Amino acid sequence: MKTLIPILGDQLSPALSSLRGQRQASAVVLMMEVADETRYVRHHQQKIAYILSAMRHHAAALRAAGWTVDYVTLDDPANSGSFTGEIARAVERHAPDRIVVTEAGEWRVAAMLEAWETLFGIPVEVRPDTRFVATHAEFDEWAEGQSDLTMEWFYREMRRKTGLLMDGSEPAGGRWNFDKDNRKPAKADLLMPRPLAFGPDAITQEVLALVAVRFGDHPGSLDGFDHAVTAADAERQAAVFFRDALPQFGDYEDAMLTGERHLWHSILSPYINSGLLDPLDLCRRAEAEYRAGRAPLNSVEGYVRQIIGWREYMRGIYWREGPDYVERNFLDHHRPLPGFYWTGETDMHCMAQALGQTLATAHAHHIQRLMVTGNFALLIGADPKQVHLWYLEVYIDAYEWVELPNTLGMSQFGDGGLVGTKPYVSSGAYIDRMSDYCRHCRYDVKQRVGPDACPFNALYWDFIARHQDKLGDNRRMAMPYRNWAKQTPETQAAIRAQAAAFLATLDEAEPADY
């Protein structure tokens, strides 16, 4: 029986479920570079280059492991431009008796896979993606029993399921959560860990040339492309993280510093999401560092929480909430995202740092995404769907299943409090506490009104005032509403006028030309 095994661009794992138990002699692996995937949003140029190069390297690795791989390149003149079109051509070429594929990572592509059996008249087996800790059924079962879907409870289930950081039935160290210890600002430090940089090999250079020609009008630039594109290099990066950064990962998880792109973060998300690294394996290795006394518990618990907690939880929410989740707009926000999200040209230093590094490298760390660019978009009332499309576009680790609940849910409160119990908004004071950005900024973070006032300040209070009807009863927002009520009517009016004037400058600005 001849089996066609399509492998998608985020399924680059040797132990992929669709490969398990197959006889290599009667199987053809199909990998497809297709225009539809490269253009369903205007992906950052480095994101396209990363995925195509990682796909080409993975095809070579599969061949070396004995698989027959049929690889369709983007510049193949016969390329139909879509997954379904390429399956049709491969069915013609190979006349398979069946198709076996690992489930897709997003609704859009899942719908394609579902249509194949009818379209091609051969059995299509869609296998679960076993690279995740929780199955869809497990997440749904957990969610059914909850009054609200608090991540913390789900995370504890995942700790129990995996046994990670468990001493019998108790959490290691007697606590599930060390977040309170993990909010330290960082100082510039010459000994800060430095991740590896990978110079492009011949395959990557060919891809870079292709992307430059075909996607030169997409956001970002290809200059300085230094991402790992093979499992071996991703593994080298992981080893450096465990050795140099994990011990202080927890302490500085929320810190930001001018000119420092990585701090103590792992920078492994693109490799985990496309399959070059296995998330559970990384967690077990982090735990081993703790058990061996090389990394403290607050760091290791923080790292494990991000992966078997937040990452798994976001996937569960994505599939549970359905394809219409993307349309939710609880706060009724409709402002277009300012053009400087695509250029980085703004005199708000925190924004220029987060946007500049995003455009240069297709990466920013979590607190930049959440409390700088996400916070600003939420404060100005940006349309959450547009904000979602921007994040999907610009980040090298962005696939809808993980990006959408993070952006629309956690960051933009578009789901009205399903993912986060309160909106992640702050004035400039938070950014000042967690970074050195304000020291380098032309605005004064201490001022709320006037030409030099930090825009985040008036925007924050304006957001609070504007949404009193929807957020005023939220117990976690009681403090800001009490503080707002304490202001005199004159002060309130001055702050809201300051915000209105700033928002008017955004409305008057030219849309992005990128």
Contact residues for ligand SF4 (CB under 6 A)?
348-350, 428, 431-432, 437-438, 441, 443, 445, 454-456
- Rounded CA separation 280/449 (Å): 49
Length of the chain in terms of residues written: 514
Half-sphere exposure of 467 (CA within 13 A, CB side): 26
CA 8 to each of CA 23, 318, 461: distance values in angstroms, whole numbers, following the listed order: 20, 19, 45
Q: Min. distance of Cβ 498 from ligand FAD in angstroms?
A: 26
Kindly report the backbone phi and psi dihedral angles of residue 311, in degrees, each rounded to the nearest multiple of 5, phi listed first.
-65, -45
Kindly report the backbone phi and psi dihedral angles of residue 316, in degrees, each rounded to the nearest multiple of 5, phi listed first.
-60, -45
- Rounded CA separation 194/451 (Å): 39
| Choice between 32 and 268, CB closer to ligand FAD | 268
Strand (E) or helix (H) holding 45: helix 45-64
Q: Helix %, strand %, coil % for the chain, to 5?
A: 55, 5, 40
Q: Min. distance of Cβ 125 from ligand FAD in angstroms?
A: 28
Q: Amino acid identity, residue 44? A: H
Partner from ligand DLZ, ligand FAD, ligand SF4, none binding residue 445, C-beta < 5-8 Å depending on class = ligand SF4
What residues form DSSP beta bridges with 167?
170
Q: Which of 4, 48, 113, 295 binds ligand DLZ (CB under 6 A)?
A: 48
| Choice between 160 and 440, CB closer to ligand SF4 | 440
Q: Does 126 bind ligand DLZ (CB under 6 A)?
A: no
Number of residues that bind ligand FAD (CB under 6 A): 28
Q: Does 269 bind ligand FAD (CB under 6 A)?
A: yes
183 class by beta-carbon count within 10 Å (0-12 exposed, 13-18 middle, 19+ buried)? middle
- Rounded CA separation 392/398 (Å): 5
Q: Which of 158, 238, 300, 410 binds ligand FAD (CB under 6 A)?
A: 410
| Choice between 269 and 373, CB closer to ligand SF4 | 373
Q: Which of 395, 413, 460, 463 binds ligand FAD (CB under 6 A)?
A: 395
8 A C-beta contact, residue 252 and residue 264: yes
Report the C-alpha dihedral over residues 205, 208, 209, 210, rounded to 10 degrees. Answer: 120
Q: Which of 11, 17, 18, 273 binds ligand FAD (CB under 6 A)?
A: 273
Q: Min. distance of Cβ 122 from ligand FAD in angstroms?
A: 34
Q: Which of 3, 4, 5, 8 binds ligand DLZ (CB under 6 A)?
A: 8
Partner from ligand FAD, ligand SF4, ligand DLZ, none binding residue 246, C-beta < 5-8 Å depending on class = none
Partner from ligand SF4, ligand FAD, ligand DLZ, none binding residue 195, C-beta < 5-8 Å depending on class = none
Among the residue ranges 24-32, 63-71, 288-296, 301-309, the one whose residues contact ligand FAD (CB under 6 A):
301-309
x/- letters, 227..266, toward ligand DLZ (CB under 6 A) = ----------------------------------------
- Rounded CA separation 35/67 (Å): 25
Partner from ligand DLZ, ligand SF4, ligand FAD, none binding residue 273, C-beta < 5-8 Å depending on class = ligand FAD
- Rounded CA separation 110/96 (Å): 21
Q: Min. distance of Cβ 484 from ligand SF4 in angstroms?
A: 19
Q: Does 319 bind ligand FAD (CB under 6 A)?
A: no
Partner from ligand FAD, ligand SF4, ligand DLZ, none binding residue 9, C-beta < 5-8 Å depending on class = ligand DLZ
Q: Does 72 bind ligand DLZ (CB under 6 A)?
A: no
| Choice between 134 and 314, CB closer to ligand FAD | 314
- Rounded CA separation 68/372 (Å): 47
Q: Does 333 bind ligand FAD (CB under 6 A)?
A: no
Number of residues that bind ligand DLZ (CB under 6 A): 16
240 class by beta-carbon count within 10 Å (0-12 exposed, 13-18 middle, 19+ buried)? middle
- Rounded CA separation 425/411 (Å): 9
Among the residue ranges 179-187, 210-218, 405-413, 475-483, the one whose residues contact ligand FAD (CB under 6 A):
405-413
Q: Using a CB cutoff of 8 Å and minimum separation of 24, what contacts does 115-120 make?
A: 115/84, 116/84, 116/87, 119/84, 119/88, 120/87, 120/88, 120/91
Q: Report the interface residues with ligand FAD, using CB under 6 A.
A: 265-269, 272-273, 303, 306-307, 310-311, 314, 365-366, 369-370, 374, 391, 395, 397-398, 402-403, 406-407, 410-411
Q: Interface residues with ligand DLZ (CB under 6 A)?
A: 8-10, 32-34, 37-38, 43, 48, 51, 104-106, 109, 399
